[in-house]
Amino acid sequence: MSTEPGPGDEPEADEGTTAGGTTETGNLTAGPAAASGEAVGEGGAESAAQQSEAAAELAAQRVERERIERRKAEKSAPIESGTRLSGRAADLLAAIRAVESGGKPAATVFTAPEPAPRPAAPAPEPARGPRPAPAAAGPATETIADVRRVLSDGGAPESLAPQVATALGEGAETLLREDPWQLLRVTGVRPDQADGFARALLGAECGPDDERRGRALTCWLLEQAAVAGHTALEMPALAAALAQRAVPDPEAAVQDALAEGEALVFQDPLDPSAPEPEDDEEERPVRVLVALERYALAEESLADGLARLVNSLAKDASEPWEAAAAAASGGAAELARAVAGHGLVLHTGGEAARAEPAGLLSAAHAAGLRAFAVTHTPDGSRRLAGGTEAVGTVADLLAGAAGPGRDADGALALDLLVVLDAPQLDVEGAAMLVEALPDGARLVLSGDPAVLWSAGPGRVFADLLAARVCPQIASRTPDPGPLGELVSGIGVGELTQVEAPGKEVVIVPVRDAGEAVHRTVQLVADSVPRALGVPAEQTVVITPGHGGAAGTRALNSALKERLNPGPGRFGGFDPGDRIAYSPAPGRTVPGQVVTADADGLHLSCAGAPVVVPKERVEQAVRHGWALTAHQAAGGRWPAAVVVLPGDAVQSLSRPWVYTAFSRAERHLSVVHGVDQALPKAVAESLPKPRTTRLPLLLKTQVPAAG
């Protein structure tokens, strides 16, 4: 490992010591501290659909959600996930009883139904390759014009009209005038902005105790929790957050949201393994959780689907699976034997371990089984060893743009689905995948448990590992070389100095954020290409956030000026710009700008043409020389430059460092300005906990694996 000296008074042309020959040795704990700017959290772009791959994806998601809702409607058995409520929880239960119709027992609100048979659904036309996506139907022009007038009357930017019309749907103008706080349904709108909008429209009628405000803030807080990865919030935490935003009666606000059907409430036992109380008067300790309906249904559907896969499979392996297990070799053999007798198997390991699920896939094909693999990104598909064509992305499989098509019941025509990059699965994506599998199919979830969790809500892979409801196969294949040694140490909390004779790892100390930007541009444009032969377009820059003096915005601006200068005549973009395209929240596809016309911005993403409508460009497209670690997750590049400015200290954690450093295949440069904060983060800063219900739901439906 090499440490490059700061530039000082040296000429700019002398940056060759960065990756070529260095004069000092050191480790990642060295480097001057710097503090400037403001670290900003990573955010996701909304889905951009028209004439793009996202339209097909969203259509498939709607179909799957309709099937999920039909299954939920058919279920009637009471849940065993809770008992009686008391105190504030009893108030919530009373609110639900008040809005229920007929003689439906209130206890069913807190219970999980029995699995229902898969409903028949028309099978979409099988698609075995990319196909043009149909244009998404956006809000009517008249609706947008009506919403624009309301926004103008309330002093809000009229440019929000398309987003508001999309979020609120038909009748958006009337709804917004009757309830101005509905503006909070638009991504990026803050409560103080919605309050100002409401005051302008309602005048003296507007007050902090308005039930419309309390209901909207409850839903907004639950959405913000989902952005942070939670599928639900504990009632005390939600009430405290409402109180901080001047809601006078937080419990009443939550009850109102429940009564309107905008949220669901659950009571889960604190100790699921504890026996039921023998005395009817004895109360079982519970925690009360509140969740938005979409995430609650997705989590329950995921648990139901996983239980179906586990319980619908005979433990005795059939002849084709025995043949597949016999055909596999090396690390894939153990995995194949587990899959032969189980419907769900977890596989853990680093980059080199991807060869094992690839070997399983080849063995399954050789045995005549219908097998397919999906990854988080197109680059992940490229890296799947074995040269198989039976691989695509999760989004393409769900959209019908890749994979084997569907059977007469609407299920994927598969015997085996292998999901790599499994830690990147959020609860909704995982639910749709599992719901799409037929009874008797095998599902393998494979990934590196040390990387960042999904950008969307849930921690599906981690929850499954903790629940221990199925076999877990840990790869014994380590990632090779100095980079593999460095990343492996980070995974166990140790930031070690490694020998890097080929300049595989280089440390570039910097004093402040300005110097960090300067040295990063130097590395990407000059040093790495000249010393290692890796061109600038094959080097990724990773930094903790979008904002700040050395965030993605600042770095992309500097890199564009050096690598592809231009006036940004297409909404800030020029042909040849590297971009990060987000067709849906949590998904980032690297690409390049081709051109622009009346249809929108034309991109090339993973070799496929994409057109982003001009009104969606600002939300869906960013410059992409520099990414956040969440945006880079699932991809790898020949060279990576990880920028750690002084203002990034609070954003660092062991999973973040592990993910950022492991994006490099051949070379890693660390622009180091956080001093001892880096080893401290690796040693002490673990993932922030996420509140989810999946472990409990699994324990009530699937027996623990032996």
**Residue-wise pLDDT tens digits, 356-366:** 999 999 999 99
pLDDT at 409: 84
Question: Residue type for 254, please?
Answer: V
The residue-averaged pLDDT of 315-332 equals: 80
Closest to 667 (Cα-Cα) out of 639, 627, 630, 699? 639
Rg of the chain, C-alpha, whole Å: 26
pLDDT at 89: 45
The residue-averaged pLDDT of 174-200 equals: 94
Question: Residue type for 99, please?
Answer: V
pLDDT at 703: 67
Top mean-pLDDT range of 38-47, 111-120, 403-412, 658-667: 658-667
Query: Are residues 330 and 358 in contact, defined by beta-carbon separation less than 8 angstroms?
Result: no
Q: Give pTM, 2 decimals.
A: 0.80
Q: Does position 27 have pLDDT exceeding 60, yes or no?
A: no
Complete edge-to-edge strand list for the sheet that includes strand 539-542: 24-25, 2-3, 505-509, 664-672, 637-644, 539-542, 626-627
Tokens for 550, please give them: 């050395």
Burial 373-411 (b: 16+ CB within 10 A, else e): bbbbbbbbbebbebeeebbbbbbbbbbbbbbbebeeebb
Bridge-based pairing state of the strands 442-447 and 344-348: parallel
Closest to 440 (Cα-Cα) out of 342, 372, 293? 342
Q: How far apart are CA 659 and CA 676, in angstroms?
A: 19
Q: Does position 202 have pLDDT exceeding 70, yes or no?
A: yes
Neighbours of 186 (CB within 10 A): 19
Long-range contacts of 604-607 (CB under 8 A, 24+ apart): 605/378, 605/581, 606/377, 606/378, 606/379, 607/378
pLDDT at 16: 33
Arithmetic mean of pLDDT over the chain? 82
Q: Does position 50 have pLDDT exceeding 80, yes or no?
A: no
Percent of the chain whose predicted confidence (pLDDT) is above 70: 77
Q: By three-state DSSP, how is residue 439 classified?
A: coil
Q: How far apart are CA 665 and CA 332, in angstroms?
A: 23
Helices and strands, counts by H and E, the chain: 26, 21
Band (pLDDT 50/70/90 cuts) for residue 616 is confident
